[in-house]
Amino acid sequence: MPEGYPLPDDAVAPVRSVHAPPPGATIPNHYAGCFACGAEHPGGLHLTAVAGEGVSLVARARITGSHQGAPGLAHGGIVAAVMDESLGFLLGMLGTAAVTGKLEVTYRKPVPIDTDVTAHAVCRGVAGRKIYTAATLYDGDTVLAEAAGLFIAVGEAHFAPYLGRAAGTLAGRVSADDVAASIGRRVNP
């Protein structure tokens, strides 16, 4: 696992929420229309995540032709999206609504399309509202990318002004109530 951003002196070990899925259980996605994890997004990554021990997880996604940048290869932004979403799923395990403050991705190898990728992600520490995370992306045993993420706890009210916009993006298949309920679950907000 990459070191990630340096932990400040006041950082404490992350505490897994009592509401987090048990190790080995699938972590529910936060919104069906999410590009990265939503099952309803037609061109999305459809990333899934399984809870690990402590505040860790394993996430999986398939890189398809829809995610192509250079011919035959995933766009670098797609790789970053896989990393951001994998790290973001950790927030639900903490029971915290948060947003990405900083994401640094180190690309180690090109990611071909039609590849199943696996991300191993862990929460390294918490300091006030700052949540420090890290992940490694693999194709089998080959390291494709590493990421360091810094998330900022914001509270669920942060998302409220945008709920109406979210409901309209899936042509009526998902309502504002569905979006609000997903945030209320506090899983990967």
pLDDT digits (tens, 9 = 90+) for 88-146: 999 999 998 899 999 999 999 999 999 999 999 999 999 999 999 999 999 999 999 99
The letter for the amino acid at 120 is H
Q: Which helix (H) or strand (E) holds 122?
A: strand 115-127
> How far is the C-alpha of 169 from the C-alpha of 48, rounded, in Å?
21
Give the C-alpha separation, 133 to 57, whole Å. 11
Nearest residue to 75 (alpha-carbon basis) of 4, 145, 149: 145
- Say what the pLDDT of residue 185 is: 47
Instruction: Indicate the SS3 state at residue 160.
Output: helix
pLDDT band, residue 42 (cuts 50/70/90): confident
Tell me how far apart the alpha carbons of residues 150 and 32 are, in angstroms, rounded to a whole number. 24
Q: Is 54 exposed, middle or buried (0-12, 13-18, 19+ CB in 10 A)?
A: middle
Could you please state the CATH topology (level 3) that the domain comprising 26-169 is classified under: Thiol Ester Dehydrase; Chain A (3.10.129)
Give the three-class secondary structure for 53.
coil
CA dihedral angle for residue 70, residue 4, residue 90, residue 44, rounded to 10 degrees: -10
Lowest mean pLDDT among 2-11, 12-21, 33-42, 108-117: 33-42
Q: pTM of the entire structure?
A: 0.86
Q: What is the pLDDT of residue 38?
A: 80
Q: Find the mean pLDDT for residues 177-189.
A: 48
Chain-centre distance for alpha carbon 95: 14
